[in-house]
Amino acid sequence: MEILKLRNETPDGSSSSKFNGHRLKPFLEPFPTSDVGGGPSRGPCLPLIDHRSRKWVTVMDLTIHDGKATRSGNAKKTKQPHNVVLVTGKDLLGIMLHDNSKNKKLSVEELVDECKTLFFSGHETTALALTWTLFLLALHPEWQNHLREEIKQVIGEGELLLNDLTNIRKLKKMGWVMNEVLRLYSAAPNVQRQAREDIQVGELIIPSGTNIWVDLVGMNHDSDLWGNDVNEFKPERFKDDTLHGGCKHKMGYLPFGFGGRMCIGRNLTIMEYKIVLILLLTRFTFTLSPSYIHSPAIMLSLRPTNGLPLIVQHV
Ligand code: HEM
């Protein structure tokens, strides 16, 4: 397929970050002025600001003041923002702050951009995948039961031990459900590339340098690729073909993208997804509230714009 020839790099070979901090700017809330200069003892904080225009920046629990990065979360609070001790953890932020390997320590600007990227790509997508899963499971209570049964068989009836997650990968049906949810309601609705050279796709000529959005939602709802039941929730289509779900083209199902820029968080997200579903399904049943209004819309990601009211009951 011609899509394979496309790359994410610009023609001069430099990288083009899709989630570059500045392109995210319209989605960032202004930092409350009362907090500017207020010190980093504020703890974890979600609003981000443009670090080029303000002196203080707080990204999650990282505070940057006069070019120095500091952890400001619960780990250690300080009233002296100018001489703060760096509090590091074994988490990704700690590694990024301290990794000196190959003298590739990140600059403050890079660090902030990485945090924004990971915060956006790491949170929104998984949260939406779970949201749409609850929606579809609420409509298909038989699948709630299939998954509860599978959890009972694989994990047992006791508490999920978070220090031993080896069984998680044995939850096959839950994997099919995740794939089917990402097919019908793609948390990431498109993938971007730039043509490195003139290419031809069918009768269409795409000139070199053209930016291309690969429409995953369109592909996932194409009956030529999936058959007449394309819009039905059928997790079992992934039973015998876990990667492609029986899609007629091997590049037709790409929930995490493809090639060198494929999602780096896919294994993490599968693990998070399964843990959250185990915890929810073993405690609660879900039905759709009569006040639900179906309103999926693409706003970078695919969201239910009117929310997802559910009726939640103890199992
Ligand atoms: C259901 C969950 C997720 C979905 C559907 C998803 C989907 C995607 C897609 C379609 C891409 C573009 C790949 C390409 O261009 O070929 C991508 C890239 C990326 N994802 Fe995810 N993602 C998810 C979760 C996560 C998580 C949990 C993280 C991090 C903790 C993450 C971090 C990233 C990053 C950093 C990139 C950019 C990779 C690059 O350009 O080299 N994603 N993701």
Q: What is the DSSP string of 65-111?
A: ETTEEEE-STT---S-GGGPPP---SSHHHHHHH--GGG-PPPHHHH
- Pick the atom of ligand 1 nearest to 257's CA: 16
Distance from residue 8's CA to the centre of ligand 1 (Å): 14
Ligand 1: which residue has its CA nearest to atom 18? 263
Q: How far is residue 205 from each of residues 4, 8, 202, measured CA to CA in Å?
A: 15, 19, 8
Q: What is the DSSP string of 182-240?
A: HHHS-SS-EEEEE-SS-EEETTEEE-TT-EEEEEHHHHHT-HHHH-TTTTS--GGGGSS
ipTM entry: 0.99
Binding positions for heme: 263
Instruction: Report the pLDDT value the prediction gives residue 208, as an integer from 0 to 100.
Output: 93
Instruction: Report the pLDDT value the prediction gives residue 115, as an integer from 0 to 100.
Output: 86
Measured CA to CA, the distance from residue 213 to residue 192 in angstroms comes to 5
Query: 133: Cβ below 6 Å to ligand 1?
Result: no
Instruction: Report the pLDDT value the prediction gives residue 80, as an integer from 0 to 100.
Output: 34
Instruction: Report the pLDDT value the prediction gives residue 166, as an integer from 0 to 100.
Output: 85
Instruction: Report the pLDDT value the prediction gives residue 223, as an integer from 0 to 100.
Output: 96
Give residue 301's identity as a one-letter amino acid code. Answer: S
Measured CA to CA, the distance from residue 178 to residue 274 in angstroms comes to 9
Q: Which of 115, 118, 256 to mutate to test the pocket of ligand 1 (most atoms within 8 A of CB)?
A: 256
Instruction: Report the pLDDT value the prediction gives residue 99, as an integer from 0 to 100.
Output: 63
Query: 129: Cβ below 6 Å to ligand 1?
Result: yes
Distance from residue 263's CA to the centre of ligand 1 (Å): 3
Q: Is 287 left (phi over 0), alpha (psi -120 to 50) or beta?
A: beta
- Pick the atom of ligand 1 nearest to 268's CA: 27
Instruction: Report the pLDDT value the prediction gives residue 279, as an integer from 0 to 100.
Output: 93
Measured CA to CA, the distance from residue 277 to residue 117 in angstroms comes to 25
pTM of the model: 0.75
Spell out the domains of the chain, with CATH numbers in brackets: 108-314 (1.10.630.10)
For CA atoms 152, 155, 156, 159, give the dihedral sign.
negative
Instruction: Report the pLDDT value the prediction gives residue 100, as an integer from 0 to 100.
Output: 59
Low-confidence ranges of the chain (pLDDT < 70): 1-90, 99-103, 163
Distance from residue 103's CA to the centre of ligand 1 (Å): 27
Distance from residue 168's CA to the centre of ligand 1 (Å): 21
Q: Is 247 left (phi over 0), alpha (psi -120 to 50) or beta?
A: beta
Measured CA to CA, the distance from residue 82 to residue 173 in angstroms comes to 53
